[in-house]
Structure 1
Amino acid sequence: MQLLVLGSAAGGGFPQWNCNCRNCAGVRDGSVRATPRTQSSIAVSANGTDWVLFNASPDILTQFKANRALQPGRALRDTGIAGIVLIDAQIDHTTGLFMLREGKPLDVWCTPQVREDLTTGNPIFNVLSHFCTVRWQPVQTTPPSPFIVSGAAGLRFTPVPLSSKAPPYSPHREDPHPGDNIGVLIEDESGHRIFYAPGFGAMAPHLEPFLADADCVLIDGTFWTDDEMIKLGIAPKTSRSIGHLPQSGPGGMIELLTRFPKPRKVLIHINNTNPILDEDSPERAELTRAGIEVSYDGMLIDYQP
C-alpha cells in the first residue's frame, strides 16, 4: 500500500493568501524555516497505478501536476483516480470536485449527512449534474460498514464516526450527527493498516482499537493550542469548539497519541497559524521528542507486501 500526501495544510493553505501571521509572513520573506503546503488531501493505492482520492481540495490541479503517479497516461483522456472518498462536506475538502468536471461521472463515497450538505447547503453535487454528474456511493457508519472502491483492488475502507463539526451551511452544524465527519481505516491485503482522521475533535471509546492497532495514524494537526486563534485576534473560537483537538495541553493530541506505542504518528491538516510549521520552533522540537511527525506535500507512506 502506498499513501501519498497531496496536501497537508488546513483550509487556506500555507501561507494563506491574506494572512500575515508570523508563519505566513516568515515563509514569504525567508525569516521562518518552513515549507509551503496546499490544502489537505491524500491518495491511496495498492499497485501504484489505481488510486483512491480522499477529499478534493481547492488545490487539486496543483496537486495532480506535482504527482505524476496520478496520471498514468493510458489513453487520450485518462486518470489514475478510481474513486473519491469524502470525510466531510467542508469547503476545503470538496471544492476541488468542480475541477474534475471534464471527466466521466464521478464515483463519490460519502455518508448520507455529507451528501445532504452537498445537495442543499452547498449544492456541489447539483451543479456537477450539469457536467459530469456524481454517482453517490453510500458510506455507512452506524455500525461501521467496510467498503471497497471498484477499480482500486487490494484495498478495504472502514468508516468511523468522529466528534467534529459539520460545515457552517449544514443543518447539523450545532446538532451533530454520526457521519457529519468520519475517519477511515485503510487496509491492504497484506494486513497493513492506516487510520486517517484529519478532523478529530475528541477521543471516544469506539476509536481505541483504530488508534491502538494501526501501523500508522494520520491525524488532525490543525492547532497547537485551544485558544490559538483567539490569542492572535483572528477569531473568537477555540480549537475544540470548531471540532479540532489541539496538540498541546491536558487531553491534547500529544497526550493522546503517546498512549499508543504501536503506530507511526503523523499530523495532517495543519493550520497556517500553528507554530509547528516553523521547523526550528520549540513546539516542533516537542513533537519530535514525542515521536510525532508533521506531514508535508509529497510525503509518501509506503508499506510493501
Structure 2
Amino acid sequence: MEILVLGSAAGGGFPQWNCNCRNCSGVRTGQVRAQARTQSSIAVRADGGDWLLFNASPDILSQIRAAPDLQPARQLRDSGIAAVLLMDAQIDHVTGLFMLRERGAPLPVWCTDQVAEDLQTGNPVFRVLGHFCGVDRRRIVPGEPFCVPQVPGLRLTPVALSSKAPPYSPHRDAPHPGDNIGMLIEDAQGHRVFYAPGLGAIEPQVAACFDAADGLMLDGTFWRDDEMIALGISGKSARDIGHLPQSGPGGMIDSLARWPGKRRVLIHINNTNPILDEDSPERAQLDEAGIEVAYDGMRLHFGD
C-alpha cells in the first residue's frame, strides 16, 4: 500500500491567506522554520496503478501539479485519480470536486448518506456538477466494509466518529452517525492504516481500528484545547468543534501512548498549531513520543 499526502494542513492552509499569527507571519518572513502546506487530502493505491482520492481540497489543482503520478498522460484526457472518497462534507474537503468537472464521464464519489444530503442541499456541489461531468455517487455505510472497483486491491471499513456536520448542513445541530467518518484501509497482503483527519474522541470503535492497524494517520489540528480561544480567534475549544488536541490529559499524545509499536502520523494541522515550527518545544515533544507530522508530498509505504 502506498499513501501520498497531497495536503497536510487544516482549512485555510498554511500560511493562511489572512492570518498573521506567529506561525503564518514567521513562515512568510523566514523567522519560523516551517514548510508551507496545502489543505488536507491523501491519495491511496495498492498495486502501483490508479489512486483513490480521500477528500478533494480547494488546493487540488496545485496538488495534482506537484504529483506527476496523478497525471500519467496515457491519452489526450487522463487522470490517475480513479475515484473520490469523502470523509465528511466540510468545505475544505469537497470544494475541489468543482475542479474535477472536466471529466468525460460521471465522477465516482463514495460518501455516507449524510454527506450526500449536505452536498445536495446546504452546499449543492453534486447538483452543480450535474451540469458538467456529473457524479456517480456510491454509498458508504459506517461499519460495512466495501471495495472501490476502480482501485483494486483495497478493502475499506468505515467507522462513524463523533463530530458535527458543516454549518450549512440541514442537521448541523443534530449530529448523525456518518457526518464524519474514519477509515480502516487494508491491502491484499493484510497491511492496514487507519485514517481520521477529523477525530474528536477515541471511542471503542476507533480504539478497535487502532488495535487492528499497522499505521495511524490522525487529526493534528490543534495543540491545545483552548488554542483558538487564547489567540482571540474563536470562542470555541478544539473539542467543541470536534478535534482532539495533542496536549493535556486525554489528548492525542497521552492517548497514543497506548499504541507505541505503530507508525503514528498527524495530519490536518491548523495554521496556529506550534508543531508546524520545526524548532518548537512542542515539535520536540512529538519527536520524543515517536509521533510524526505529515507534510505535503510525504509518501508512506506499508508492505512491499
Report the TM range for the smaller structure's normalisation: over 0.9
Corresponding residue for 1:269? 268
- Secondary structure in 1 aligned to 2:44? strand
Greater shift in the superposed pair: 125-134 or 43-52:
43-52
Q: Which runs of 4+ in 1 moved over 4 A?
A: none
- Secondary structure in 1 aligned to 2:32? coil
Corresponding residue for 1:220? 219
Greater shift in the superposed pair: 230-239 or 9-18:
230-239
What is the 5 A alignment of 1:178-193?
Answer: 178-193=177-192
Q: 2:261 and 2:211 mapped to 1: Cα distance?
A: 7
Corresponding residue for 1:159? 158
Structure 1 counterpart of 2:284, one-letter code: A
Structure 2 residue 91 is the aligned partner of structure 1 residue 74: no
Task: Indicate if the aligned counterparts of 1:49 and 1:70 stay in contact, CA closer than 8 A.
Answer: no
Structure 2 counterpart of 1:279, one-letter code: E
Structure 1 counterpart of 2:70, one-letter code: L
Structure 2 counterpart of 1:159, one-letter code: P
Greater shift in the superposed pair: 6-15 or 46-55:
46-55
Corresponding residue for 1:137? 138
Q: 1:201 and 1:119 mapped to 2: Cα distance?
A: 26
Greater shift in the superposed pair: 215-224 or 199-208:
199-208
Q: 1:214 and 1:263 mapped to 2: Cα distance?
A: 8
Corresponding residue for 1:13? 13
Corresponding residue for 2:44? 44
What is the 5 A alignment of 1:243-262?
Answer: 243-262=242-261
Corresponding residue for 1:147? 146
Tell me the CA shift for residue 172 of structure 1: 2.4
Q: 2:18 and 2:40 mapped to 1: Cα distance?
A: 18
Structure 2: tracts of 5 or more residues without a match: none
Q: 1:121 and 1:262 mapped to 2: Cα distance?
A: 42
Structure 2 counterpart of 1:185, one-letter code: L
- Secondary structure in 1 aligned to 2:254? helix
Corresponding residue for 1:86? 86
Task: Indicate if the aligned counterparts of 1:39 and 1:59 stay in contact, CA closer than 8 A.
Answer: yes
Task: Indicate if the aligned counterparts of 1:212 and 1:262 stay in contact, CA closer than 8 A.
Answer: no
Task: Indicate if the aligned counterparts of 1:11 and 1:39 stay in contact, CA closer than 8 A.
Answer: yes
Q: 1:166 and 1:292 mapped to 2: Cα distance?
A: 28
Task: Indicate if the aligned counterparts of 1:48 and 1:69 stay in contact, CA closer than 8 A.
Answer: no
Q: 1:208 and 1:91 mapped to 2: Cα distance?
A: 28
Q: 2:30 and 2:124 mapped to 1: Cα distance?
A: 40
Task: Indicate if the aligned counterparts of 1:87 and 1:110 stay in contact, CA closer than 8 A.
Answer: yes
Q: 1:147 and 1:73 mapped to 2: Cα distance?
A: 29
Residues 92-118 of structure 1: per-residue CA shift (max 9 Å, x gap): 000000000001211000000000000
Structure 1 counterpart of 2:106, one-letter code: P
Tell me the CA shift for residue 70 of structure 1: 0.9
Structure 1: tracts of 5 or more residues without a match: none
Structure 2 counterpart of 1:134, one-letter code: V
Greater shift in the superposed pair: 8-17 or 248-257:
248-257
Corresponding residue for 1:115? 116
Corresponding residue for 2:126? 125
What is the 5 A alignment of 1:231-246?
Answer: 231-246=230-245
Q: 2:148 and 2:253 mapped to 1: Cα distance?
A: 33
Tell me the CA shift for residue 200 of structure 1: 0.2
Task: Indicate if the aligned counterparts of 1:34 and 1:278 stay in contact, CA closer than 8 A.
Answer: yes
- Secondary structure in 2 aligned to 1:126? helix
Corresponding residue for 1:56? 56
Q: 2:248 and 2:281 mapped to 1: Cα distance?
A: 15
- Secondary structure in 1 aligned to 2:82? strand
Q: TM-score, structure 1 length as denominator? A: 0.98
- Secondary structure in 1 aligned to 2:283? helix
Task: Indicate if the aligned counterparts of 1:49 and 1:72 stay in contact, CA closer than 8 A.
Answer: no
Structure 2 counterpart of 1:271, one-letter code: N
Task: Indicate if the aligned counterparts of 1:10 and 1:39 stay in contact, CA closer than 8 A.
Answer: yes
Structure 2 counterpart of 1:267, one-letter code: L
Q: 2:213 and 2:25 mapped to 1: Cα distance?
A: 37
Q: 1:281 and 1:48 mapped to 2: Cα distance?
A: 37
